[in-house]
Amino acid sequence: MVFLLFDIETCPAGDTPSINDEVIGFGFRECGKDGKCYDNYIVTVSDYECNSISDCEGKILNTFLGKVDEYLRRAKEDVEKTNEKARGSGYSVLVIGWNIRSFDLPVLANRLYRQGLMKNIDEALELIGIKPHLIYLDLYDFIKSIIFPRTKINLEEVVNAASRCLKEGVVASHNEGEESKKSMLKMCRKIKGEFRGRLSDNDRNELGKYIKDRLTHDLNQLSILYKVLVSKINIKKCLMSELISIMKK
């Protein structure tokens, strides 16, 4: 099995993201069963020669589809190397993210369809729902279900609680992630408003930097949660204890 941490960034015209916002970047980080994670694979608008948000999005989504197929092929090859009788069965890619069921995956399905990369919306939904060997784990839903089913949980608080469970102290910097997010959103509003979606080379490179910073920040946080998941720590007991202590402060 291949384990992947995953996140996307979109370009809203206002302060509130929606399912119709264009995808302007995505990131994967592969991890092992031992909890160790490796280099990022990050794609943003600055990786392409494109003169509009829409044009960039089409190229980004094409790359996304190709990368998913690459991970699936490798997962299949890994299984067949260890078990020649497998014949392509019994392999899977587990994609792990935060709130991906409510945001990332519906946005991807919609934008893949809008960009004409899927024949219809059903085909797009298949990618995020029932594509063979592709499994998704939403850490927001998972952690919420075992800790506070009726309460909203904050990613930074959960990550810091997980860090304490791992005895690594507080490592999540909320301000660092928020600064790159604010800069990215401000630039998106300017591009989609004042420039009507058009991108100059300078704008594309500057926006790409903010997207990369934001994706790197989010993947770093997901890495900590993943490490707790595969550890021998009692997740429910430890996270509940740490989160309650944080909320009391």
Sketch the domain layout of the chain as residue ranges: 2-247
H/E stretch holding 108 = helix 105-114
What is the reported pTM? 0.89
Distance between CA atoms of 79 and 90, rounded to whole angstroms? 7
pLDDT of residue 107: 94
Residues of the chain with pLDDT under 50: 84, 86
pLDDT of residue 52: 94
Contact between residue 159 and residue 221 where contact means Cβ atoms under 8 Å apart: yes
* In the chain, % of residues over pLDDT 90: 49
CA distances from 126 to 76, 122, 157 (A): 20, 6, 33
Q: Around 151, how many Cα atoms within 13 Å sit in the side-chain half-sphere?
A: 12
Tokens linked to 4: 């992947």
Residues with Cβ < 8 Å from 243, sequence gap 6 or more?
147, 148, 153, 157, 158, 161
Domain 2-247, second-level architecture: 2-Layer Sandwich (3.30)
CA distances from 220 to 13, 115, 155, 232 (A): 27, 30, 12, 21
Residues with Cβ < 8 Å from 218, sequence gap 6 or more?
7, 27, 98, 177
pLDDT of residue 97: 96
- How do 22-31 and 93-97 pair as beta strands? unpaired
